[in-house]
């Protein structure tokens, strides 16, 4: 093995050789050390400027994000309200219109409906176009096979009667005759256990 003094001598010779090669490279490329130092200064300045520009762009982006968040409208949080519950479930009436019987005069119209069940709620309403007066029997109501769902009349204040089944009601529509100028009433309702009587009057 080499003595420590010889190892130090080898490292010293290597350092001198490496320094000489570096000086030769600098002299070959830049000509002198002043140009080399100026080149290093320019590179450091460019790197510093690039870093400064990157930081500035990051700051601008962050400011834009904050401004956008401030300008966006605040969406209200919906309040979740639990639905009202009842210990007793709602009971819808149900029944069937088995048969119908119609009679009319010049100023009135009557419809007798033979029914099963007892209607708990009947709603009345009018429609202006086309001129119509009607009722809704609320609940699970249907009409039977003997009931004609569309009947047309040649005279009287009612031109036709229509039955329509819906999932929550049975609708009975009375189409007022075209050209009728008198005021037509809502259906007047009389009901008992087996019949539902509807009467419509033309008021002078």
Q: Are residues 66 and 146 located together in one domain of the fold?
A: no
167 part of a folded domain: yes
- pLDDT given at position 86: 44
pLDDT tens digits along 67-102: 343 344 433 333 333 444 445 555 678 999 999 999
**What are the tokens at 1?**
């093995």
Supply the DSSP string of the chain, one letter for each residue.
---HHHHHHHHHHHHHHHHHHHHHHHHHHTSSHHHHHHHHHHHHHHHHHHHHHHHHHHHHHHHHHHHHHHHSPPPPPPP-PPPP--SS-----EEEEEEEEEEE-SSEEEEEEEEES--S-EEEEEETTTTEEEEEEESEEEE-TTS-SEEE-SSSSEEEEEEEEETTEEEEEEEEPTT--SEEPPPEEEE-SSEEEEEEEEE-
- pLDDT given at position 92: 75
158 part of a folded domain: yes
**pLDDT score of 63 more than 60:** no
Q: Are residues 104 and 16 located together in one domain of the fold?
A: no
Q: Are residues 59 and 143 located together in one domain of the fold?
A: no
Q: Which residue has the higher pLDDT, 61 or 200?
A: 200
pLDDT > 90: percent of the chain: 47
39 part of a folded domain: yes
Predicted TM-score of the model (pTM): 0.55
Q: Are residues 104 and 196 located together in one domain of the fold?
A: yes
**pLDDT score of 11 more than 70:** no
Q: Are residues 47 and 100 located together in one domain of the fold?
A: no
Could you tell me if 92 and 186 are in contact, meaning their C-beta atoms sit under 8 angstroms apart?
A: no
**148: domain range?**
94-203
89 part of a folded domain: no
Q: Are residues 53 and 102 located together in one domain of the fold?
A: no
Q: Are residues 110 and 196 located together in one domain of the fold?
A: yes
53 part of a folded domain: yes
How would residue 21 be classed by pLDDT, with cut points 50, 70 and 90?
low
Q: Are residues 104 and 194 located together in one domain of the fold?
A: yes
pLDDT tens digits along 128-161: 888 999 999 999 999 999 999 999 999 999 999 9
């Amino acid at each position: 093995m080499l003595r420590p003094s010889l190892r130090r001598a080898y490292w010293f010779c290597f350092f001198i050789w490496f320094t000489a090669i570096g000086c030769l490279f600098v002299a070959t490329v830049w000509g002198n050390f002043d140009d080399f130092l100026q080149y290093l200064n320019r590179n450091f300045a460019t790197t510093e400027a690039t870093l400064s520009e990157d930081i500035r762009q990051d700051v601008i982006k962050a400011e834009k994000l904050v401004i956008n968040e401030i300008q966006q409208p605040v969406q209200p949080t919906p309040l979740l309200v639990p639905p009202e519950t009842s210990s007793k479930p709602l009971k819808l009436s149900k029944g069937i219109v088995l048969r119908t019987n119609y009679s009319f005069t010049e100023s009135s119209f009557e419809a007798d409906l033979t029914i099963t069940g007892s209607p708990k709620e009947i709603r009345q309403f009018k429609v202006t176009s086309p001129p119509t007066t009607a009722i809704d029997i609320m609940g699970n109501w249907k009409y039977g096979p003997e009931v004609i769902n569309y009947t047309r009349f040649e005279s009287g204040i009612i031109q036709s009667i229509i039955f329509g089944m819906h999932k929550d009601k049975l609708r009975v529509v009375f189409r007022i005759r075209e050209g009728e100028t008198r005021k037509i009433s809502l259906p007047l309702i009389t009901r008992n256990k087996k019949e539902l009587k509807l009467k419509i009057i033309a008021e002078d």
